Amino acid sequence: MNKNIFIKALSNPLALAGFVIIVCVFLLAILAPIISPYDPDFFNVKEILLPPSATHWMGTDGLGRDVLSRMLYGGRISLLVGLVAVGISTAIGILLGAIAGYYRGWVDTVIMRMVDVMLSIPSFFLILAVIAFLTPSIINIMIVIGLTSWMGVTRLVRAEFLSLSEREFVTASRTLAAKDSRLIFVHLLPNSLTPIIVSSVLGVASAVLLESGLSFLGLGVQAPQASWGNILTDGKEYIQFAWWLSLFPGMAILITVLGYNLLGEGLRDALDPRSGLSK
């Protein structure tokens, strides 16, 4: 992505706030083994459901485990699932979108009808249906989310390829008998990367929400491994008198998703040539 575009995006206060949020969340997740005050799986029956205090900043859960420690380690899982799932969906979307936009004709028709069929099915229910036949695990969650979230990227890449295929530099390369692979990977794809990156940033937010929802329903990351979704699940049993078990993971999901959305919108504004005309 062009450095000037990134700088322009960060000149937007909201986009800068999103970038700072994402960096902070990543740092907390990466440094979890160092800054975590307790073992996230260690439980103490003498400290069950303690409210936030100087000893346990975010309180303890129904097994006496430190919520702050579980939040830090849970952030690693939630962010990993989001990033890997988006990586899978982006790779599929780029491949199919490039093929559809470059070759056009019946190839384009077949791929876009596949996209239409996938979009006609609510993604969350599709994921639930697939997960129901698999053993809930981190790997399965990442793969399933990735395999059911590629449609938007496919449409975006196809549109970019259709537009770029009419440009002079592509016509000149065809005149010089450049191979299809060279046209796609050297000329067309690099010029399509910036909107793909914007879509991917926004996609991570959706993937984090999906993972949290699946874990909350018991179909995602399984105990004792911590994720923000299953911490929320633990909290629903005690929501009337242990508010911290629902508040802190809910706020973590909200802040993380907000950070990705703010950064994504800032990048989108920086890439939109009409944004500068409206100011």
Answer left, alpha or beta for residue 104, where phi above 0 means left and psi between -120 and 50 means alpha: left
Weakest-pLDDT range from 129-138, 143-152, 243-252: 129-138
User: 53 vs 221, which has greater pLDDT?
Assistant: 53
Domain boundaries, the chain: 81-258
Name the helix (H) or strand (E) containing 79.
Answer: helix 67-103
Question: Are 213 and 124 in contact, with CB atoms under 8 Å apart?
Answer: yes
DSSP 8-state assignment for residue 76: H
Distant-in-sequence, close-in-space partners of 260: CB < 8 Å, separation ≥ 6: 18, 22, 201, 202, 204, 205, 208
DSSP 8-state assignment for residue 219: S
167 has a pLDDT exceeding 80: no
In this structure, is the dihedral angle defined by the CA atoms of residues 155, 157, 160 and 163, taken in order, positive or negative? negative
The confidence band for 2, taking pLDDT boundaries of 50, 70 and 90, is low
DSSP 8-state assignment for residue 51: P
Task: Report residue 261 CA to chain centroid gap.
Answer: 10
3-state class (DSSP) for residue 66? strand
pLDDT reported for residue 192: 82
pLDDT reported for residue 174: 67
Q: Which of 111-115, 138-142, 179-183 has the highest mean pLDDT?
A: 111-115
* Nearest-angstrom CA–CA distance, 47 and 114: 53
Q: What is the CA radius of gyration of the chain?
A: 22
276 has a pLDDT exceeding 60: no
The rounded mean pLDDT for the chain is: 84
Helices (DSSP H) in 135-275: which residue ranges?
138-147, 151-164, 168-175, 180-182, 193-216, 228-236, 244-271
* Nearest-angstrom CA–CA distance, 100 and 98: 6
The confidence band for 168, taking pLDDT boundaries of 50, 70 and 90, is confident
* Nearest-angstrom CA–CA distance, 249 and 158: 38
* Nearest-angstrom CA–CA distance, 232 and 215: 9
Structure tokens that stand for 186 in this block: 């050297």
Using alpha carbons, select from 200, 193, 196, 194 the residue that is nearest to residue 260: 200
Question: Are 99 and 157 in contact, with CB atoms under 8 Å apart?
Answer: no
196 has a pLDDT exceeding 70: yes
Question: Are 154 and 96 in contact, with CB atoms under 8 Å apart?
Answer: yes
173 has a pLDDT exceeding 90: no
Question: Are 201 and 263 in contact, with CB atoms under 8 Å apart?
Answer: yes
Superfamily of domain 81-258: MetI-like (1.10.3720.10)
